[in-house]
Amino acid sequence: MISMVMVAVGVYARLLKHAEAAMACLAVDPAVLLVVVGVLTFLITFCGCVGSLRENICLLQAFSVCLTVVFLLQLAAGVLGFVFSDKARGKVSEFINGAIVHYRDDLDLQNLIDFGQKEFSCCGGVSYKDWSQNMYFNCTATNPSRERCSVPFSCCLQDDRQAVINTMCGRGMQAMSYLEASAFIYTNGCIDKLVNWIHSNLFLLGGVALGLAIPQLVGILLAQILINQIRDQVKLQLYNQQHRADPWY
């Protein structure tokens, strides 16, 4: 049921977008990610649920194999991310830069970036001047946009006394030096902030990973136990049928 809700929400969010904008940022669209995860989750849980109810060995084997593959992929991603931290950092940087380029093309992506910049008190990938990669915020003299040399409002320093958010608070900040801009916006990039957050919350992330891994391992174990029980029942039925057909039985 949860996976069906995820698919429905993802499809609904996808249909609300313009076709041109949706195709432009397909790789970084949260709605697409939600649909993909929902479909995969539904297929895996469907195999496990129907397989256990109908005592179907094929579906239970598919459920067990899928859970094993997912568990191994998670384990491999964690190990590779730890061993090849520089390459992982490069992939994160590439993702953030792609999101910056399509910031105005996708409302969901825009809200996600604004949320991240507010929560981590950061701006851009490496620095606030990374927003020059966006065609609206580009700081070249030939850019006709009214937002030239600006940054999103989520980069601005938070003031709890303001009742209304000033969405133009980042205007012209890229034209300022780091020292001048630091009085109005966050000048540090989100990549360093994210890496520092991960390093300071390793125990929390480890607990979350363990919490995800234990149900998967339990599901694999229970599926294999049920498969063995079904096979034993089939063998017993065949044995009884053979002996009932024996006239000396």
Final residue in a domain of this structure, among 15, 37, 54: 54
Q: Are residues 146 and 24 in the same domain?
A: no
Whether the per-residue pLDDT at 150 is higher than 90: the answer is: yes
The reply to whether 248 falls in a domain is: no
Whether the per-residue pLDDT at 62 is higher than 60: the answer is: yes
Whole domain around residue 4: which residue ranges? 1-54
The reply to whether 246 falls in a domain is: no
User: What span, in angstroms and rounded, lies between the C-alpha atoms of 154 and 165?
Assistant: 10
Q: Are residues 199 and 122 in the same domain?
A: yes
Q: Are residues 106 and 166 in the same domain?
A: yes
Among the ranges 32-36, 52-56, 107-111, 206-210, which has the highest mean pLDDT value? Answer: 52-56
Between helix 107-120 and helix 190-200 the angle, nearest 10°, is 60
pLDDT single digits (tens) 213-240 = 898 899 999 999 999 998 888 888 887 8
The reply to whether 36 falls in a domain is: yes
Which two tokens mark 105?
């093309």
Q: Are residues 92 and 204 in the same domain?
A: yes
- Domain total in the chain: 2
Instruction: Please provide the distance, in angstroms rounded to a whole number, between the alpha carbons at the two ends of the chain.
Output: 51
Q: Are residues 4 and 119 in the same domain?
A: no
pLDDT computed for residue 92 by the predictor: 80
The reply to whether 138 falls in a domain is: yes
Which alpha helices (DSSP H) does the chain contain, by range?
A: 2-15, 19-24, 30-54, 57-83, 85-101, 107-120, 178-181, 190-200, 202-244
pLDDT computed for residue 129 by the predictor: 93
pLDDT band per the 50, 70, 90 thresholds, residue 19 = very low
* CA dihedral sign of residues 135, 141, 145, 151: positive
Q: Are residues 70 and 104 in the same domain?
A: yes
Whether the per-residue pLDDT at 28 is higher than 60: the answer is: no
The reply to whether 244 falls in a domain is: no
Whether the per-residue pLDDT at 153 is higher than 50: the answer is: yes
Beta bridge partners of 188: 127
Task: Supply angle C-alpha 145, 111, 195, rounded to 5.
Answer: 105
Whether the model clears a pTM of 0.85, i.e. scores above it, the answer is no
Mean pLDDT for 11-24 is 59
Q: Are residues 127 and 86 in the same domain?
A: yes
Q: Are residues 32 and 124 in the same domain?
A: no
Mapped onto helix, strand or coil, the DSSP state of residue 135 is: coil
* CATH assignment at residue 59: 1.10.1450.10
pLDDT band per the 50, 70, 90 thresholds, residue 84 = low
* Integer angstrom CA distances of residue 27 from 18, 19, 36, 88: 16, 14, 12, 17
| Higher per-residue pLDDT: 18 or 82 | 82
